[in-house]
Every structure is written in C-alpha cells, then in structure tokens.
Amino acid sequence: MKDGTATLEVPHGKTFKLKPLQFNGPCNFPSVHFQLEGNIIAPRNTKAWKGHDSERWIEFLNIDGLIIDGGGQINARGSVWWEFCRENSCSRPTALFIHNCNKFLLNGTRHLNSARNHISINSCTNSKVYNVTTIAPEDSPNTDGIDISQSSYILIQDSTFATGDDCIAINGGTSYINITGVTCGPGHGISVGSLGKKQSYEVVEHVRVYNCSFTGTTNGMRIKTWEGGSGYARNISFQHIILTNTSNPIIIDQKYSDLTNEGKEQTSAVQISGVTYRDVKGTSQSEIAIILDCGGVTGCTDIFMDSINITATSSGSKVRASCNNVHGFTTFTSPPVPCLS
C-alpha cells in the first residue's frame, strides 16, 4: 500500500497464466492500483472455465478509483475459442470486464487475441482509457476492441485498435462518450449500436468521435438499429476523420432485420437524430461511400454533413451516396447526398 492506494504488481519480465479471475469490491481503500508491467496469459484449454462464467476471463467489479496501467500485456490466447465455437454453440469470454467501477483509469496496456471482446465497460461513469492497444486477426470473430454499455462520461484517447470486429462499440444506456485520437483498422469501424434488438427500448446520446482515422476497415462511422425497436440515438458527431481504403465509410442502417418479425411491417424504430459529420476525408473501397438507410415513420432527422470529400480507392473509379427517408442538409459534400438539400 502506498499513499492510501492498494497495489497489485505484475513485474516487468514476468509472465503469469491466470484461470478465470474476479476482483470484487467495494474496497476499503480510496484507490486500487493494478500495476501491469509484465504479461498475463490465459489457459489454452477451454476446460479451464469449467465451474466459472464462460463469458468472462478477468473481471473487476464494484471498485471505484481503479487504476490499471503499465506497459504490460494481456494475452487471452483466444484462438482455441474461435475454433471450438465454430464447431460448437458456445459463449466465449470477454478478456477484461470492468463493471460498476466509477472513476477508473486504464492506461498504457496492450491486449491481444481475446476470445470475444477485448475490453467491456459496463455501468461505469467518469472514467478514462488512454494509450491502449488491442490486436487480433482480421478474421477473428466478435473480437471488439472496446464495448461500452450502460455507462456515461467515458473518455477513450490516443489508442489503437486492430481487431476482427468493431474497434469501439457504443451500446444502449450510454451517454457523454468522447473518443479522440483513435486509430482503427483492420476491424468494423466505430459503431453506435446495434440498438433495439428483439423490440427493446435503448438509448444513446452525446457521443463525440474526433480526430480519428480508419484504415482498411469494413465500416467507418456506423449507426445501426434493429427494426421494431424503440428509443433513440441522438446528438452524435464525427469530426476530423481520415479514411484510407475504407469500405462503407459512412453508414446509418436503421433496417437491421429481427428474424422474429421477418415479413411483418415495422413502424417503430430507434429514432436517430442530431448526427453531424464534419471534415471527413479519404478513400472508399466501396462504390457506395455513404449509405443512409432509415426506416420507421419519421426516418432519420437533423442529419448534417459539412466538408465531406470521399473518393474511390481505385484510380478512375467513382463513388456515390445512397439514402432513404433521411432529413437534414449538407454543405460542401462529395459525393453529393441526393435526399439531403
């Protein structure tokens, strides 16, 4: 213990193999410091999870003032799960799960090859993620860099995500999320959603993605909602964005299909409004560089685009925009968006 802080150290140059592990508060210290200078690795055999929650590997629960930092590495060795779950219907563990830890700091760590999400942030407030790197193969399933849910006032800054799924996924119950200085690729981009699955009510608001880059991603800036859901996604901005060889650079998909309602006309939708794209530049692998596909009765409203310049990756090719049931306006946008004035 130092200065009222309880410290657990993983020394530099040392490697420790951990079975599923849970750190559960509340704690009697104002702060808990997990100083990761060395390496942590997961078991190679899925049987190590027998008797444990197969959806988690390392959990921090109910610890306010948590600090996880250092130049160390968390290697979940998830390939055994990717192979096993291709042949068997099974849940896979998130590598690092942080729940109800207010004012936590995650700084300087490296995260490799999670079986599923690398980092999940749930029910946390006033917390920061700095200088974090996550890496997994481009074809690894559902290996999101960071998933955020039921949380507010979260800052993610100066970090790199190269995974098989979303670099950052912003799920229901989140607000005041600030993402800045992030490098994404490969992966599926930065996503709001999906929201409204199985006719659920979900909300996301006050999201700011600023000064970020996407390289070789299958999506860039994405908002996705299920048909038949309800709630809202609003006050979302993407500004100062660089795209390099990105498929679907800008996409709003309000028509995710829920198989339980397939064939039924859906009038309800998660309402999407107040979305700003400003100073977005770069290249698209896809012919359709901007997709705004909105449903429900009102569609998407108050969509604003300014200083957009997206060209084709291939010399001599052209890109275009596609839109449906979208309301708003554009200035200095290329390709032009036909349903926005």
Catalytic residue list contains 3: no
Catalytic entry in 118, 144, 188, 253: 188
Q: Residue 38 and residue 30: Cα distance in Å, rounded?
A: 25
Contact assessment for residue 246 and residue 280, using Cβ atoms and an 8 Å cutoff: no
- Which residues 6+ apart lie within 8 Å of 110 measured at CB? 71, 72, 73, 74, 132, 133, 134, 135
Catalytic residue list contains 188: yes
Q: What is the dihedral of CA 309, 138, 152, 292, to 10 degrees?
A: 40
Task: Count CB-CB contacts under 10 A for residue 38.
Answer: 17
Catalytic entry in 165, 166, 206, 258: 165
Q: Residue 174 and residue 123: Cα distance in Å, rounded?
A: 9
Catalytic residues, by residue number, are 165, 188
